[in-house]
Structure 1
Amino acid sequence: MEFTIGGRLEVRIAPADVGKRVSVRRLTEDGSDGSKFTDTVGVLTSWNDGVLCVTPKSGESVRIPESSLVAGKVVPSAPARRRGPAASFAELARVTARAWQPVESEPLGDWLLRASAGFTRRANSVLPLGDPGVPLGEALGRVRAWYAGRGLPAYVQTATGAEGAQEELCAVLEEHGWRREVTAEVRIAALAPVGDLPAEVSRVRLERTADAAWLARYQRVGTPGPEVTSVLHSGPSVWFATVPGEDGEAPAAIGRCVVDGRWAGFMAVEVAPEHRRRGLATAVMTALARQAMDEGASAAWLQVEADNEGARALYDGMGFATHHRYHHFRPV
């Protein structure tokens, strides 16, 4: 990370650069780790009263006293993509939302309030893809009241790490007392290499509906209510994959795919603990990918929580790369 001109550290950012992606270096507060400087890369979301706020890909804002700043510069708004299909944040946000539709929803300007009796944060959170049409404080008050009326916690889903994402909204939510509760990655890849993987797809059964056996393997819920089946069956073209178990057991593996134009989204890929490390997750995804390609899809996406190391390693091997991260903020 280079900050110097002619060997001198320089601060080449100003309050007018709020909203741009920056790289800054500051003095550490105590130097206890033996380093003199700390570097931060993210979107400059505010610069008020001698304090900068920079929001990196993690979604958790970093407050930097101006007095500690020793270097800074504006950097490209998003790193160049090295692999995977070209995609904007706005396109992926809408595609992923269509693949996991709520039981009920209500617009608030360009925001969409979503509820599904508490089944998953994605189906019970605000999708803010523009201006709510009222001041933000008022909008957040309406959000809290709307979810309270349904006996649900209020969540706002935001994204960071891609051009046109929502680092500024993350910072403002924190200012209003909301805190990030969970982070996941949205990953993308070319679809054909997934469909070409050497996998035993003959064992995989594809259906248009999630039957009782599929739901018995699905680990997100105990006894699924109508909101679960409603969300799972939502989307433009939905497929469910099952690898049957033995002697009437629950399936050895399952998966779900939603085909939407050029995109195929993979979700709910689960393998029974006693059947893991046998290639079943790969077989499920390969079978679903081939079906999606038959319907004209050419690109793939999926979501994986940041702390799921096993799934991350699997998807790394399939060629998936992180496009952006999304977060759920909740008032405290």
Structure 2
Amino acid sequence: MEISAAGRLEVRITTADVGKRVSVRSLIEHGPPGEKFTDTVGVLTSWDDGVLRITKKNGEGVRIPESALVAGKVVPSAPARRRGPAASYEELARVSARAWRPVESERLGDWELRAAGGFTRRANSVLPLGDPGVPLDEALTAVRGWYTARGLPAYVQTATGAEGAQEPLCAELERRGWMREVTAELWTGAPAPVADLGGEPSGVTLSREADEAWLARYQRKGVGEVALRVLGWGSPRSSEAESGGGPSVWFATVPGEGGTGAPAAIGRCVVDGRWAGFAAVEVDPALRRRGLATTVMAALARRALEEGASAAWLQVEEDNAGARALYTRLGFAAHHAYHHHRAPESSAPAGEAAP
């Protein structure tokens, strides 16, 4: 908090600081006994009619009456991260988007409208990297019409918690009734340390395509022809991959006991320039805590290194404690949070996969 030379807390932010990262202390109106104040850190996304709105790293919007302010100051917009490869939000947004390539897309200014029959919100949402070229309300009307024409709910994917992320857009969407339906995080790390783990990869097979055995372990719903196109984009069947212009995709499989039935573990890796993106790491529930997930990631990391990758990313949901613990042990750390905002009166389709 900002403290004056006289030892008093001071409010050193104004409406001119909208769009900046701030730290404020405010009075709690109905707090627990003995607790009078609360601290909030995030981007000041609006200050209208005597109310501040601060959007936190996790996308949560906090409304604070200015009459409750006790102290406040502007703080650095991008605090130094302790580990992980250097990368901007925009670079990671584009790389991760290419790993979940939609079947159909269209540009609206700098926004990309993406559709893939409802399989994974990452391929069925707007990626708003820049200016849509029209006023926001007009852009959102166009977005809703585009998805309605395809029988899909309208989603806008946003990000918070990194320099260049979209806290102001999050706030504007929520002011218009768009509901923040799902929040996850994108983590970054290095593939080389992962490649050194997991023992010998003799029990892991790698393939360019998801075969029936791999799909037997994959837990996401709605895996049909469209989903296979999203999962396998960049395989040898992709014209862009054949010409060397697109990412390559690898699927890892650890056979089940006796070599029959669903695999013991699976994983997927998309190699795109310097980046290796890990996804779909799943283990038979009866065989967890045996190091199989690490084995799968190690095998994929080795292949990624062979193809020239030097950095890695993955996406993990907020409530997946097991995955978060694993990725922390493997040296990954959160880079930013991302969210899917659903248009008012839109409903998610049956079989919707993870964000």
1:42 aligns with 2:42: yes
Aligned to 2:224: 225
Secondary structure of 2:82's match?
coil
Gaps of 5+ in 2: 235-246, 345-355
| Matched residue type, 1:249 | G
Aligned to 2:290: 278
Gaps of 5+ in 1: none
Structure 2 contact 132–139 (Cα < 8 Å) conserved: yes
Flag the 1:110–1:33 CA change in 2: closer, same or farther, 3 A: farther
| Matched residue type, 1:144 | R
Q: Distance in 2 between matches of 1:199 and 1:312?
A: 21
Secondary structure of 1:8's match?
coil
Secondary structure of 2:169's match?
helix
Aligned to 1:315: 327
Q: Distance in 1 between matches of 2:32 and 2:337?
A: 31
Aligned to 1:3: 2
| Matched residue type, 2:4 | I
Structure 2 contact 184–316 (Cα < 8 Å) conserved: yes
1:304 aligns with 2:316: yes
Deviations 1:121-145 (A, max 9, x none): 1111110001111111111111111
Aligned to 1:23: 23
Flag the 1:92–1:33 CA change in 2: closer, same or farther, 3 A: farther
Q: Distance in 2 between matches of 1:84 and 1:191?
A: 11
Structure 1 contact 199–282 (Cα < 8 Å) conserved: no
Residue-pair matches, total: 330
Q: Distance in 2 between matches of 1:172 and 1:329?
A: 11
Structure 1 contact 199–279 (Cα < 8 Å) conserved: no
Q: Distance in 2 between matches of 1:208 and 1:175?
A: 44
Paired residues for 1:143-162 under 5 Å: 143-162=143-162
Aligned to 1:240: 251
Flag the 1:33–1:239 CA change in 2: closer, same or farther, 3 A: farther
Residue 288 (structure 1) aligned to one of 268, 280, 300? 300
Aligned to 1:253: 265
1:267 aligns with 2:279: yes
| Matched residue type, 2:191 | L
Structure 1 contact 60–170 (Cα < 8 Å) conserved: no
Q: Distance in 2 between matches of 1:29 and 1:169?
A: 28
Structure 2 contact 198–291 (Cα < 8 Å) conserved: no
Report the alpha carbon displacement of residue 306 of structure 1 after superposing the two structures with TM: 0.6
Q: Distance in 1 between matches of 2:30 and 2:200?
A: 56
Superposed CA RMSD in Å reads 1.1
| Matched residue type, 1:19 | G
Secondary structure of 2:322's match?
helix
Deviations 1:262-298 (A, max 9, x none): 1100000001111111111000000000100011111
Paired residues for 1:25-174 under 5 Å: 25-174=25-174
Report the alpha carbon displacement of residue 191 of structure 1 after superposing the two structures with TM: 1.6
Q: Distance in 1 between matches of 2:33 and 2:81?
A: 34
Report the alpha carbon displacement of residue 220 of structure 1 after superposing the two structures with TM: 0.5
Secondary structure of 2:308's match?
coil
Q: Distance in 2 between matches of 1:203 and 1:79?
A: 42
Q: Distance in 2 between matches of 1:329 and 1:102?
A: 18
Secondary structure of 1:180's match?
strand
Aligned to 2:351: none
Structure 2 contact 275–309 (Cα < 8 Å) conserved: yes
Secondary structure of 2:13's match?
coil
Report the alpha carbon displacement of residue 33 of structure 1 after superposing the two structures with TM: 4.8
Aligned to 1:331: 343
Q: Distance in 1 between matches of 2:31 and 2:210?
A: 56
Q: Distance in 2 between matches of 1:176 and 1:131?
A: 18
Q: Distance in 1 between matches of 2:63 and 2:213?
A: 50
Report the alpha carbon displacement of residue 168 of structure 1 after superposing the two structures with TM: 0.4
The percentage of aligned residue pairs carrying the same residue is: 75
Structure 2 contact 25–39 (Cα < 8 Å) conserved: yes
Q: Distance in 1 between matches of 2:221 and 2:199?
A: 29
Larger deviation: 281-290 or 195-204?
195-204
Report the alpha carbon displacement of residue 190 of structure 1 after superposing the two structures with TM: 1.6
Aligned to 2:238: none
Aligned to 2:188: 188
Structure 2 contact 267–278 (Cα < 8 Å) conserved: yes
Secondary structure of 1:251's match?
coil
TM-score of the pair, normalised by structure 1:
0.97
Report the alpha carbon displacement of residue 31 of structure 1 after superposing the two structures with TM: 2.8
Runs of 4+ in 1 over 2 A off after TM superposition: 31-34
Deviations 1:171-213 (A, max 9, x none): 0001111111111010001221111114342111001111111
